[in-house]
Structure 1
Amino acid sequence: MDLHDHTTFRVAASDLNGQMRGKRVPGSYAAKLDAGAVRMPLSALNVDIHGADIADSPLVFESGDADGVLRPTGRGPVPMPWLDGAQPLVPMTMYTDDGAPFDGDPRHALESVLARYAARGWRVVAATELEFTLVDDSGDRLAHPRDPRHGRRLEAPEILSCTQLDTFDAFLDALYEGCAAMGIAAQTAICESGVGQFEITLHHQDALRAADDTWLFKALIKGLARRHGLAATFMAKPFAEDAGNGLHLHFSVLDADGGNVFDNGGAEGTPVLHAAVAGCLAAMPASTLVFAPHANSYTRLVPGAHAPTGACWAHDNRTVAVRIPGGAPVARRIEHRAAGGDTNPYLVFSAILGAAITGVERELTPPPPLTGNAYAQEMPRLAADWATATERFETDEAIADIFAPGMIRNLVMTKRQEMRVMARIPADEHWKTYLDTV
């Protein structure tokens, strides 16, 4: 796609909540992007869920709200099929004026983690499964969507229903076409266990590209749903009585020869796999703020609600947080199931992959794999509430092993401000904040 053919195009980077922050710029900027023609306040990536500056943030009050430099990530330009006009988007990432990566940029957090794998000659291959819910937000309360065929509201979950896939075929067709246009390798689509809930699987690929695609994919789904008279949300729990939305990360690690370092030819996997699992378990409770970053997130993290709440692992057991799927040993991988759909993909990838490589570096050993129903057994738990999750993230050594001090500080300040803001909004009105933002 040639940016020079467009009168204007957009540039955007991810803020801490995964929202796009950027500008619409003239086509003449196309030749100047690599040179840092687009500048934006560093603080723009660390605003709260409503887009407001963080009170007393050092980015604003100590640095004078200094500008950073946006540079292309190499992922774009991509079309935005949810718009009427043909206006491209160039994904960007933030640097300081001296050329250093801005440590409040979540994409840089992931790059830093992946550099630890690269230092061993390894490459992470990853894929995501994303759950989202189609809803009707036209009234004072969030409601289940109407069936396009007859206008009556959906009432049942229709797990793995082909009929319900047919019902929303026009939207799903547009979604796959949009993915093809944006270079997002969408795989299977299924009806999940909530009313109007779907799950889409993305293709296994380089981990940074997988995170980029997941970020873009969420914007595509929300935008296209609006074009089809619906709203799509990744809220962790749109309806109290329904299943919540998750983001599952699958990953394996390849050595310099392309071999899977998790594969020992059998179902049990290698010592490297076990060390990576141990790292994921060790960091999981303190990583809760990344996996559950919003007030609504904690309505999903309850036992028996199809969302793992304990730090445990097993082979081919969907009640655990860290699952080793079955299948051919050459494809041996880890599936991390703790994150909600309302999360920032870059931070989720960073927290999980950072925990895994820490486990490998320290040669950690996991407990025996769990058998039976994980919801009914005792184990270390994710934080049960937002405040506790924020405190753990701020002070835990496992988090300091993964994230830069500036990232920890900025995320904690952002979430504490959001806690104060959301506390003033009745819980049954929280959906109005989160529907389109997460």
Structure 2
Amino acid sequence: MSNDEVSAFLTEYPDVQTIELLITDLNGVVRGKRIERELLEKVFAQGFYLPGSVMALDATGTTVEETGLGVEAGDQDRVCFPIPGTLAIVPWQGNDRAQALVSMFDADGEVPFLADPRQVLARVVEKFSTLDYTPCVAVELEFYLVDRERDANGQLQPPISPVSGRRMNSKQVYSMDDLDDYDFFIREVLDTAHAQNIPADAVVAEYAPGQFEVNLPHVTDPLEAADHAVLLRRVIRQVARRHDMEATFMAKPYIDESGSGTHVHVSLLNDAGDNIFAAEDPLQHPPLRYAVGGLLQMADSVQALLCPNINSYRRLAPGGYAPTSHTWGYDNRTAAIRIPSGEIEATRIEHRMSGADTNPYLAVAVVLAGIGEGLMKQVEPPEPVTNNAYDQDHPQLADNPRDALRAMEANEQISEWFGEEFLRIYSICKWSEVSLFERQVTELEYSLLLPYL
């Protein structure tokens, strides 16, 4: 980031005293440190240090020592540099706080630290660039608003709208009344996002009480698209907190309601600015077919990246608008890969496999890698599905982390895109989480077994 950008920001916001420097770990959790105003120009010019073990944390925030990034290596520091264009005020903290995203490099500051998910995406973008196409990427985020108070059984429940005084309790998909009830929240999310240069542009009520979706527009820089998604998730959570609610990006917060996903939309532009997916019959158009073929061919090996938590797999149930099979189709939300309807010029791929809990950098990286693989090797997809894919016989996606991790480890193809070292660290961290969860005794086990065994 240039000194001019920093100087202009400090001049425009003279009250800013503290700057939060933010980075996402493997799980998409935002971490970092705070600095004072007088250090900002130095940090932007020379970087600052965080331990590389930040990229070796499990779901509890504990370093997974088996990765080799913890005490075995002396818990060494890496250099982090702020990302141009991400320095912005933090409206929910008043006038004296700002923030910037950062990315991590090796200790010398020259080589990208490839355990950093943003650097993984940068690697994929660089490899994809050999195709001479410009990806046009947009991300949709689904989430739930929940009451900070639990119900009588200690379970999550939708919040009570301060406008209507009622608690949402039915599936009013695309309900304008629900949007009106939470207009105060939606407006503040959009206003706060715009204050941080995040171009969020639409919100809809989704298919469950308290569930919403917010859309980001297409941009021609995949890294910027993922940056927007990371920052928008933070905005949503913070605005919800200001209104005494919680926003959750868990993939399946309610077992009896729809899960939440992260949908990645991609089209490709040639040198003339034309969309190479555009065709009268996109299902028979070779570039689009190859792109889909690559995505489906890699689907098993990347499932663990798109579904990073135990809860992620609870979303993958038939009938819940989450994909469970290697399928694609035109305007079909039961398929893993959807080709949305609309104007020919806007023909694109909607990738629906990621849970809302995915790391946006990894989700975008997975989609670009699959499309790139398909185009480079001209991979033909299976026939597109029509009607309800859940009722049909198709190869199934992994519905548990063990199968997903084994598929990732068995496929040497994906290391060319994501890097062996990153995949090694990711795999170790995720196996550690599998072990953590499998060592728990649940309340259901007590209720079913304790009275009888």
TM-score (norm 2): 0.90
- Post-superposition shift, 1:196? 0.7
The equivalent position to 1:112 in structure 2, one of 105, 112, 123, is 123
| Partner residue, 2:65 | 55
> How many angstroms apart in 2 are the aligned matches of 1:269 and 1:226?
47
Partner deviation per Cα, 1:313-349 (whole Å, 9 max, x = no partner) = 1111111110111222221110101111111000111
SS at match of 1:52: coil
- Post-superposition shift, 1:154? 2.0
Q: Does 1:2 align with 2:17?
A: no
Structure 1 stretch displaced more, 188-197 or 118-127:
118-127
Structure 1 stretch displaced more, 298-307 or 140-149:
140-149
> How many angstroms apart in 2 are the aligned matches of 1:143 and 1:427?
21
CA RMSD of aligned residues (A): 1.8
| Partner residue, 1:165 | 179
Look up the equivalent residue of 2:218 and give its one-letter code.
H
Give yes or no for contact 1:355–1:398 (8 Å, CA) kept in 2: no
| Partner residue, 1:42 | 52
Return 5+ residue gaps in structure 1 as ranges. 430-438
Q: Does 1:324 align with 2:344?
A: no
- Post-superposition shift, 1:81? 2.7
| Partner residue, 1:83 | 93
Give yes or no for contact 2:56–2:67 (8 Å, CA) kept in 1: no
Report matched runs for 1:284-323 at 5 Å: 284-323=299-338
Q: Does 1:371 align with 2:386?
A: yes
Structure 1 stretch displaced more, 195-204 or 133-142:
133-142
SS at match of 2:143: strand
Report matched runs for 1:352-391 at 5 Å: 352-391=367-406
- Post-superposition shift, 1:387? 1.6
SS at match of 1:108: helix
Give yes or no for contact 1:3–1:88 (8 Å, CA) kept in 2: no
Larger Rg: 2
> How many angstroms apart in 1 are the aligned matches of 2:160 and 2:437?
29
> How many angstroms apart in 2 are the aligned matches of 1:41 and 1:261?
43
> How many angstroms apart in 2 are the aligned matches of 1:390 and 1:251?
26
Structure 1 stretch displaced more, 340-349 or 396-405:
396-405
Look up the equivalent residue of 1:375 and give its one-letter code.
Y
> How many angstroms apart in 2 are the aligned matches of 1:239 and 1:39?
39
Report matched runs for 1:199-238 at 5 Å: 199-206=213-220, 207-238=222-253
Number of aligned pairs?
A: 429
Look up the equivalent residue of 2:34 and give its one-letter code.
R
Partner deviation per Cα, 1:214-270 (whole Å, 9 max, x = no partner) = 010111101110101111111111111111101111001111221112124544463
- Post-superposition shift, 1:390? 1.7
Give yes or no for contact 2:128–2:369 (8 Å, CA) kept in 1: no
Give yes or no for contact 1:114–1:124 (8 Å, CA) kept in 2: no
The equivalent position to 2:83 in structure 1, one of 51, 57, 73, is 73
- Post-superposition shift, 1:150? 5.2
SS at match of 1:82: helix
| Partner residue, 1:349 | 364
Residue 422 to residue 381, structure 1, CA distance change in 2 (3 Å): same
Residue 412 to residue 75, structure 1, CA distance change in 2 (3 Å): farther
The equivalent position to 2:134 in structure 1, one of 119, 123, 142, is 123
SS at match of 2:408: helix
- Post-superposition shift, 1:426? 5.5
Quick one: percent identity of the two aligned structures? Answer: 35
> How many angstroms apart in 1 are the aligned matches of 2:326 and 2:443?
30
- Post-superposition shift, 1:96? 0.2
SS at match of 2:264: strand
- Post-superposition shift, 1:56? 2.4
Look up the equivalent residue of 1:285 and give its one-letter code.
D
Partner deviation per Cα, 1:84-120 (whole Å, 9 max, x = no partner) = 4531111000000231100100011111111123223
- Post-superposition shift, 1:80? 2.2
> How many angstroms apart in 2 are the aligned matches of 1:56 and 1:281?
32
| Partner residue, 2:113 | 102
Look up the equivalent residue of 2:247 and give its one-letter code.
A
**Structure richer in helix, relative to its length:** 2
| Partner residue, 1:434 | none
- Post-superposition shift, 1:427? 5.5
| Partner residue, 2:212 | 198
